[in-house]
Structure 1
Amino acid sequence: MANVNGMTSRDCRPNISLNCSPHVEQDHYSIPINAFFLFVGILTLVFNSGILVLIVKEKKIRLNLYHFLVLILCVSDVLVGLGFIFGILRTVHPAFQTSKAFAVLNVLLTTTGLYISLYHTFLISLQRFLVICKEKWNTLIFQQNRRYFVCVSGWIAILISNCIFISPHPASPGSDIISYVYNGHYQAYTIYIRFLTTSLLFSTVILYLVTIVYMLKTYRKISPTGDSNALQVIETINIHTIEPHPSQKACVFSCLPHQVRVRPIRSRGEASNQIGTLTRKKVMSTLYLVGLLITVLLIFTGPLVVTLSWRDTFPTRLRGILFGLCCINSTLNPIIYVWKLVDIRGIVKSALFCLNR
């Protein structure tokens, strides 16, 4: 939502005269639309800030690699929400509309958040691929503190690359503040974002599809004696057994959905089949969540990503709507986490219960 207002200049050509202050005509959205956009931006900040607090406070979330990579998307969504609110402020206050620093910060927050979102979605897809297909590579890349290095190094690289292209025009910003902020390097910037966004989106989708095909081939049939691949994968998806009471002969799987129930194991063959069934269900559950996140990303953020480098030909209002859809994506992500991740839903319920006491 970096450019939600339209402005045209009269009796002034800012590219020629730097001492001329253009007369600005504003083409605002209606008050209800601005109020709705502002509400969406605030929801985005509140929801994703809450997820970020959970990551910091709950050690078991950080130890669960899959949950960590999914929830760390909140960092990019916080940036998108901030950039979106800054864009709304530009439509309602003249001082923000003519501020060069505010325009640069608005664009930097929005674009950095967008690219980090694509980067983290790629990491989630990559990690699921490595877990199911290449376990050793998963250990080398993501385990222990390496997960933090992979995330933070990506953030820094994206931020630096964005800052390198910043070259704002000396005149006051107009309606299209992206072309204004990257004015001196705009052509190079468009080439860069086309390559970055296309490669990240394409790699994310391809890795996910390859993982689905591999999983279907691997778990199509489980032999009576057990499948070694299933036994390897089951260790990487956080399924733990708890020693039962002597009077009860059942296994409890702490990270399985509530609807999954484990019958008492009577033979080794039955145990192997049961492990294979549970593994398939768990893998399908994680792939379903990844697929849902990718689908929501493509529906709400995809149009903005695809049209970002050709945005000069679009009306100002259409560009604002595309940014609004991107912010809605950032609002939906925390809802998806709580809906699909049983552990996270339990933590959120506990936290809300404590607040109500």
Structure 2
Amino acid sequence: MASLATRFVNSTAQHIFLTGKAGTGKTTFLRSLGGLTHKRHLIVAPTGIAALNAKGVTIHSQFLLPFGAFIPERTLPDDIADYGRFHDRDTLNRRHPLNALRRSVLAALDLLIIDEVSMLRADLLDAIDHRLRNVKREYHVPFGGVQLLFIGDLFQLPPVIKDEEWSVLRRWYDAPHFFASLALKQAGYVHIELDKIFRQRDERFIGILNNLRNNTVTEQDVAELNRHYRPNKEGDGRDGVITLTTHNHTADALNQQAMDRLKGKAYRYEARVVGDFPESMYPVQSELELKVGAQVMFVRNDADKAYFNGKLARVTEVDKEDVTVEMVEEGTSYKLKREVWENKRYMLDPVTKEQEEEVLGTFEQYPIKLAWAITVHKSQGLTFDRAVI
């Protein structure tokens, strides 16, 4: 199915929604597509962390969109007077115009790839549509004729929308999700689903997960899950147990308590931040505190496959310069290397007219975080052997 999606991208101008459960290869497809398509493309995502993971930029940054709700009209209706929270086409043009750099990049664009599309709001997609029609001067063609590739899983994180925003937006939209966009309804799209799960090989467990996902759990499923239930299992990190919480402050408190229980000297490792890299985009803590025995989790995939996003490890050696961990599952030792994340923007070479990337700033830190506890949201797409919920 991934090869089919590639053919659709390269051979048609149709918009595509590529979806699939966790572990079916959506991220792998995204990372390989750049070398498989001749089309000039951008990768964007709704949030800073999602954009970093996709090696792209945020939607708001690329399209210079203000925060708040977008009303798909030329001007706001008379009963909506709050220009701070609601924007229309005219306010985008007059108060938030595109600069020359972004305009040139969008003018040359063939393909727009939007990752983590479950979080994309319908009104935000219509704001993108307005920008592209203006830049391309194709005012009557959805998205100005640019092909869109949506990647994500609608069973994952939904769009964030305030009640007061939705009470207004529901006049134009029947749902807050991207597929309710007026421009996308006009244009239509092809739906491609990746259905082979590579992350799990246990067919019975895959079946249970699918039933949980679809809210069709059977008595047999519950009985099978209960066979693996272990009461009074404390998530103290002694055996790779991880606690899933609903709030960041709870996870932070549990991690700090576990750290305080460890004996030995604590070492602190400062991130190296160069240039423009907003704090809101930091993928891990700028100051990482570690002791021998600390349970940690990797937050990105290693090019050499030594670790992956969500893999658990235990710190075995620390000093001022180096950190060594032992992988919880295999028991293998690994000396950590600092990883570099880039905050970048797209630009167009004025001579060659080729699309280029400009790195605005970098963030360098060990790709781990304390992991006796994490939030349910941050566990999305990850796999754990033992968990406390």
Q: Give TM-score scaled by structure 1 length.
A: 0.21
- Compare the two structures and name the one with the higher strand fraction: 2
Greater relative CO, 1 or 2 (CA 8 Å, sep 6+): 1
- Compare the two structures and name the one with the higher helix fraction: 1
Q: Give TM-score scaled by structure 2 length.
A: 0.20
